[in-house]
Structure 1
């Protein structure tokens, strides 16, 4: 029998994870990212470069109202955000396929380590300027013909892998 929200036995654990979204603009993706951020109880979403349209019906429908209570902000200066988080001892991790990226399963984090996960624009990825500031660049291994996946799905997989590392 399926459990209702009040019957589930999930803990209400907040993870020291901040999402930095570099020019992500798709309203369905943004709604899904809000919902994932609630599911994985991330600290905050920081939108950079493209401010989300919170009046979008598509965003609202996809987020299932999580955009109303998941903490977020908008910044026009992602470099300053990343440098500030580095100063606060966050590990800066980019989700991108590059020559130097490693499979996300190889990511080694200490329990309760503070993490910034950067994800990039649906077509263009993460800017080179931000990639240069990262401590790690990870990718999700794929086995089909396509060389990329939907950004919201990739964030969901990444949050799952990261939170597994952060649980003591």
Structure 2
């Protein structure tokens, strides 16, 4: 296992830049932090380990990956870490690119969801409920943001994410005969328990503050609502996603 101790190391400088979205997109690489990521079968490009970490704890996990592995000085490792109390392991993965040719019949659409924690939770929920495909409209948070990755708890490897322009997305789904079902606080919305599904359905969730755009609502085939029985103004988008997806799982 190689050791990096100087901040001018070419690889270290390259990986440190991945903390910024523009460099992630250039390199098509992202960071995932934590021992948990060693449990997954997806092979990383690099593994970086804090020099103070007890390697004996993860020897077997490390052996299964045929990739470059490095020991970093604690000072350098802290520059890559995004966690206050890091576990001492950071992995670097390649982006996954998915075409639109193999979408499942039931998909999730996120319209400008902006909070990294919410997106991570939704990806994890989509995975838990047995779905695969997520389309995000332009303006949504970067799915390879470090907080998103951490919040997915590894489900990032089980979800197929694609970004599309809003108009392009609507045209594509309509052309492929998807039923557009929007979650909305609207007078014409029906309770989610009365949701009507076709063979192919796109379940749409909106921005945390503004909801789904008016242009998407205007072409939606159905609008659904989760009743609020208490005094809360609304539900967190991640929670709403879980409630509705599990209802759909009961039906299909």
State the TM-score, normalized to the length of structure 2. 0.56
- The Cα of 1:55 is off from its aligned counterpart by 4.2
CA distance in 2, matches of 1:23, 1:144: 27
Q: Which has the higher Rg, Structure 1 or Structure 2?
A: 2
CA distance in 2, matches of 1:15, 1:158: 17
**Among 192, 195, 200, which residue is 1:104 paired with?**
192
- Tell me if structure 1 keeps the 8 A contact 2:119–2:143: no
Q: Relative contact order (alpha carbons < 8 A, sep ≥ 6): 1 or 2 greater?
A: 1
SS at match of 1:73: strand
CA distance in 2, matches of 1:105, 1:72: 27
CA distance in 2, matches of 1:80, 1:58: 28
Map 1:1-168 onto structure 2 (within 5 A): 16-75=105-164, 77-109=165-197, 113-166=199-252
CA distance in 2, matches of 1:147, 1:164: 27
Note the residue ranges of structure 1 that are not aligned, 5 or more in a row.
1-13
- Tell me if structure 2 keeps the 8 A contact 1:15–1:163: no
State the TM-score, normalized to the length of structure 1. 0.82
CA shift in 2, pair 1:122/1:51, >3 Å: closer
- The Cα of 1:69 is off from its aligned counterpart by 3.2
- Tell me if structure 2 keeps the 8 A contact 1:95–1:119: yes
- Tell me if structure 2 keeps the 8 A contact 1:18–1:42: yes
Aligned residues: 150
Note the residue ranges of structure 2 that are not aligned, 5 or more in a row.
1-102
